[in-house]
Amino acid sequence: MEVFWVVIFVDLIFISIAYLINKDNAKYLVAGYNTMSTKEREKFDLKNFLIFWKKFFIDLTIFSTLLYVISFFIFNGDTAILIWTAALIIPWPIFIYKAQKFIR
């Protein structure tokens, strides 16, 4: 049951990331964007990327937690943690692939 607090803590971090990153602080906090030159930043569709960013982190939070809770009741706690970990890792290549469309 202690692991549940870890899941909640990670959820709070992801929700914070979703809501606290905005166009004003993205140049400091978003990896890749913060190393772009001014010319490259002008080509980047930051507004739509941040919409995508927010949706991704909210969805990641909801679905990974939901999978953890369902797995916890169906399997044992160790299996639930493995499923939760996979649910956190698997979406990242998809995120990276889909994020490429915001570079003009």
For residue 89, is it within any domain? no
Give this prediction's pTM.
Answer: 0.91
For residue 60, is it within any domain? no
For residue 57, is it within any domain? no
Does the pLDDT at position 1 exceed 80?
A: no
For residue 27, is it within any domain? yes
Token pair of 60, please?
């990641």
For residue 10, is it within any domain? yes
Structural domain total, the chain:
1
Does the pLDDT at position 46 exceed 80?
A: yes
Percentage above 90 pLDDT, the chain:
94
For residue 1, is it within any domain? yes
Burial of 14 (0-12, 13-18, 19+ CB in 10 A): buried
For residue 18, is it within any domain? yes
For residue 66, is it within any domain? no
Instruction: List the domain range (segments joined by +) for residue 13.
Output: 1-34
